[in-house]
Structure formats: structure tokens, C-alpha cells
Amino acid sequence: MSRWHIAGRSLRALEAITDGLPAGKAPEFDTRGPTERLRSITLPASDKDSHVDFCVATGAWPIAAFWSAHAFLAMTGVLSGGGGGWLLWLAVGLFGVLRQTSNVMRINQHRVLVREGLAGRAERKIELHQISSIWVQQGATGRALNIGRVGMQLINGEVVWGPVIGHPTRAKRAIAVAVSRRTASN
């Protein structure tokens, strides 16, 4: 096994550590709960006139702050004469900050761009007409800090999870409005 292959596996392991929240599976689709089936969305008159068809949601800053504090404490350990263990803690903290600040979910009138990973290396573009349902996954801490993931189910049944972002309900609503405008104009 080459050194680059081993380094790539190590970076993926660091991404898993610094990811934030687990993605989980798609929720059960029923009449109750946070899931919106997009083909049945109807907009009130006030939403049709607003300009919410473009939204950018970035990484979860509370998680990035946690990893920054982690890196700061590790740097303190390194500067006070600590060994390799502190350097590993410092590397994990810096990767965590980079991971969280690289997460982006961009919604415009044509598609949803989901970019995540270290320095945004994983990117996916999803056309609005492919999205059938959306939901937000947040735990109690996520609701308190206003962070979470947006999940999307595509028409073909595939489930796509967005990265951990701040203000996920705003991103969910922007997707719903963009899809509704797209289907209303067609």
C-alpha cells in the first residue's frame, strides 16, 4: 500500500472525527413530523413576492469554535514542552476547524450545491426538479445552537445529506421556496 493511499485513509478518518453530527437514515415519511413533501407545497401570496430564491448556509460555527478551543489547548501543550501527543491533538483540532468552515450549502433558482469535506473537496450539485422531500435533522444541542443537517430525498429514492451547517431550517425553507417557484413556473 502506498504512502499516499495510507495518507488518504488517515484524512478520511480525521474527517469522520471532525464531522459534527451523524447523518443517520431518512426519516419515516408520514403526515406528522418535520418532513416536507415538495410536490404538495403551496405558497402563500407573501412568499411568492419575496426574494428568497438564493440562500447560502455555511458550516456550523459553534462546532468550529469547539475545534478552535481544542487546537488552542493543544498548542498550549506543545508550547509548554509537550510531545507528539499534543501535536496530534493540534492536528485534529486544526482539521476540525477546516472541516467545519469548508461546509457550504448554496441554494439558487436552479440547483442546490452541497460542498463538504476538508477544504470542500466533496461537492455535489442537485437540480431542483430532482428533489421530492426535505427535512432537518437536529438534536437538542443542535436546536439550542441552531445547527444541523438538511436531508433531501430525490425522485429516484436516493437520500442526500447536506453537511452540518448553521441555520438549517432557513436552508430547508429556501429549498422549499425554490422548488415551489420552479414547479409553479413550469
DSSP string, 99-118: HHHH-EEEE-SSEEEEEESG
68-87 pLDDT, tens digit per residue, is 998 999 899 888 887 778 88
pLDDT of residue 126: 92
Kindly tell me if the per-residue pLDDT of 15 is higher than 70. Answer: no
Q: Which of 174, 166, 177, 114 is nearest to 143 (CA)?
A: 166
Please provide the average confidence, as pLDDT, over all residues in the chain. 77
pLDDT tens per residue across span 18-56? 555 455 566 665 444 456 665 544 444 444 444 444 788
Which residue do the cell numbers 422549499 mark? 176
In this predicted structure, what is the pLDDT of residue 18? 57
- Is the Cβ–Cβ distance between 128 and 178 less than 8 Å? yes
For residue 68, count CB atoms less than 10 angstroms from its CB and return exposed for 0-12, middle for 13-18, buried for 19 or more. middle
Identify the bridge partners of residue 181 per DSSP, sorted by sequence position.
none
Q: Determine the Cα–Cα distance for residues 122 and 112; give it in Å rounded to an integer.
A: 14
As a whole number, mean pLDDT of residues 124-142 equals 89
Q: Class assignment of domain 24-59+104-186? A: mainly beta
Q: What is the mean predicted confidence (pLDDT) over 118-145?
A: 85
What was the pLDDT predicted at 181?
76
In the chain, what is the straight-line distance between the N-terminal and C-terminal CA atoms, in Å?
A: 52
Question: What is the pTM assigned to this prediction?
Answer: 0.70
Count Cβ atoms within 10 A of the Cβ of residue 142 and give its class: 0-12 exposed, 13-18 middle, 19 or more buried: buried
160: helix, coil or strand? strand
Cell of 95: 482539521
List, for residues 135-177, the tens digit of each pLDDT value. 998 888 888 888 888 998 888 888 888 888 989 999 998 898 8
Do residues 94 and 110 touch, judged by C-beta distance below 8 A?
no
Selected residue with higher pLDDT from 120 and 104:
104
Residue 166: φ, ψ to 5°: -85, 150
What pLDDT was estimated at residue 72? 92
Res 47: pLDDT: 46
Give CA–CA dist 129/181, Å, rounded: 11
Q: For the chain, what are the domain ranges? A: 24-59+104-186, 61-102
User: When comparing pLDDT for 1 and 146, which is higher?
Assistant: 146
Strand 131-137 vs strand 159-161: parallel, antiparallel, or unpaired?
unpaired
Residue 82 exposed, middle or buried by CB count within 10 Å (0-12, 13-18, 19+): middle
